[in-house]
Amino acid sequence: MVRTRFAPSPTGYMHIGNLRTALYEYLIAKGNNGQFILRIEDTDQARYVEDAVELIYKTLEITGLKHDEGPDIGGEYGPYVQSERKGIYLDYALELVKAKKAYYCFCTVERLEELHKNSDLGIAKYDRHCMHLSEKEIEENLKNGVPYVIRQAIPEGKSTFNDVVYGEITIDNSELDDQVLIKSDGLPTYNFANVIDDHLMKITHVVRGSEYISSTPKYNLLYEAFGWEIPTYVHLPLIVKKDGSKISKRKGDASFEDLLKMGFLPEAVMNYIALLGWSPGTNQEIFSLKELEEQFDVKGLSKSPSAFDEDKLKWLNSEYIKKLDFDKFYEMVEPFLKAGVKSSGIDFKELAKMAQSRIDTINSAPELFDFIDTLPEYSTELFIHKKMKTDEAVSLSSLIKVLELFEKMDGQWTNDYIYESLIALVNELGLKNGQILWPVRTALSGKPSSPCGASELAELLGREKSIERIQYAIELLQNKLN
């Protein structure tokens, strides 16, 4: 059976690359009727971030990536947690020490820092100082309680392995460091616990970023030292910015949680990251999670880095927004609209109906209606529109007539009635529709585009505010043309 695992470290936010890894692991498992496991790798206590585990749970719940196995907690599966399994790792390390595949290292922090300091490149491999200690020296140190770590003994030669994406890869073992397996606090390092747990949990496919390719031989040497079967490796291309640089939270790049706060829907984000490094082989761009489960194939994975394009994500998000049930959409967008538009008497459901087909993020909806509270400063050039056959002079003439019309309309003030009245004025003056409607739309919104037409804007703003804005536009045009 195919078994994959998502094994995040609770050291901060959920990076987009981490989430894509989780998605691909989930899809590889589900596409092969396999199982998807969640394992929290929290052995790095120095970098542990409070609430990071809860953020991992929340993210997977929101995205629908439900894991299949783990400790029973209240009738549901919890994740495996490495710190709760810490008693098992030392025995495996001692087994390697006995087999001469690992060794005790008693070097002090000061010595290691000096080794690092004296390195030409500033990156020091351990010099194997403790590898050649006699049995007597080791026993004496252990008896006296001298702090130690256990290091992997990297053999000479070359290591070759096959990767689903990158094919056969060979790395000279001289490039590998004698990595620490057990730290001085008795906890395993990420790399060591990773191998032990993958074996014990019968993980068949290890999916991770391509930055781990160079250290994969370390893992394989551990598998070989124990006589265990090596899993299938699927290394994923990097996700980069448009300029080719790596995505980094420190540089202000968004995490999954950030994207949700920015108004992106989780389904759209998951759809988008599925396509960062994978091609379905068709022109289809919009996928539900179920469709991804059915169509995902590792053969479609790319070796090349994938550029994170926020504009493309916004387009995809807008498509998802359009398909939302209106009541659900309104529930999501209402708080943003009410926070952004303060004018009284506004029908926010009507605003939401206008917004649903026009916005690309949920919280950008108020930007469509920022003209309602305050008319923005605008240039008379907005009145020039070749297609509408209108310019500043035509607009001035039309708005003077519209002002007279609006001032006489003391009864109904509805979209239908306003529109019918404006069209009647068009016919009376022998003009084109656009020669009246475009100037009115511009005068009422003060923007090059608006979420609705002239009559809808007038109804939205109300009679008094509409008349004020028409008067202002007339004055603006008169000043420009005189």
Model pLDDT, residue 232: 97
Instruction: Find the domain containing 474 and state its range.
Output: 380-481
Q: Residue 358: inside a domain, yes or no?
A: yes
Q: Which helix (H) or strand (E) holds 235?
A: strand 232-236
Identify the pLDDT of residue 25: 97
Residue 133's pLDDT is: 94
Give the residue with greater pLDDT, 282 vs 46.
Answer: 282
pLDDT, one tens digit per residue, over 338-354 is: 999 999 889 999 999 99
Could you tell me if residue 423 is inside a domain?
A: yes
Q: Is residue 340 part of a domain?
A: yes
Which H or E run includes 45?
none
* Mean pLDDT of the region 102-117: 90
Residues 352 and 384 both lie in one domain:
no
Query: Is 349 known to be catalytic?
Result: no
Tokens of 153: 């003994």
Strand pairing report for 35-40 and 3-6: parallel
Residue 240's contacts (CB-CB under 8 Å, 6 or more residues apart) are 246, 247, 305, 306, 307, 308
Question: Within this chain, do residues 341 and 425 fall inside the same structural domain, yes or no?
Answer: no
What is the tens place of the pLDDT at every residue in 385-409?
999 899 999 999 999 999 999 999 9
Mean of the per-residue pLDDT values for the chain? 92
Whether residue 389 is found in the same domain as residue 458: yes
Do 433 and 346 fall within a single domain?
Answer: no
Residues 347 and 364 in one domain: yes
Helix-, strand-, coil-residue percentages of the chain, each rounded to 5: 50, 10, 35
Any domain includes 425: yes
> Is the pLDDT assigned to residue 74 strictly greater than 90?
no
Higher-pLDDT residue of 121, 132: 132
Q: In the sheet where 102-105 sits, what is the strand order?
A: 102-105, 149-152, 180-182
Give yes or no: residues 389 and 464 share one domain: yes
pLDDT bin (cut points 50, 70, 90) of residue 41 is: confident
In angstroms and rounded to an integer, the radius of gyration of the C-alpha atoms of the chain is: 32
Please choose, from the candidates 198, 204, 213, 215, the residue with its C-alpha nearest in 3D space to the C-alpha of residue 165: 213
pLDDT at residue 5 is higher than 90: yes
- Name the domain count of the chain: 2
What per-residue confidence (pLDDT) applies to 190? 86
- Asked whether residue 109 is assigned to any structural domain, the reply reads no
**Top-confidence residue, 408 or 254:** 408
Residue 46 has pLDDT above 90, yes or no: no
Window from 36-50, 159-173, 402-416 with minimum mean pLDDT: 36-50
- Examine residue 104 and state whether it is found in any structural domain, yes or no: no
389 and 469 assigned to the same domain: yes
CA distances from 265 to 64, 101, 256, 259, 322 (A): 13, 49, 10, 8, 12
- 316 assigned to some structural domain: no
Catalytic hit among 66, 158, 242, 249: 249
**What confidence score (pLDDT) does residue 87 get?**
86
Residue 250 — pLDDT band, cuts 50, 70, 90?
low
Predicted local confidence at residue 82, as pLDDT: 85
The counts of H helices and E strands in the chain are 20, 14
Is 123 a residue whose pLDDT tops 60? no
- pLDDT-derived band of residue 73, with 50, 70 and 90 as boundaries? low
- 345 and 431: one domain? no
Tell whether 363 and 385 lie within a shared domain. no
The CATH number of whichever domain residue 468 belongs to comes to 1.10.10.350
Residues 333, 385: one domain?
no
Q: Are residues 385 and 466 in the same domain?
A: yes
Q: Are residues 414 and 469 in the same domain?
A: yes
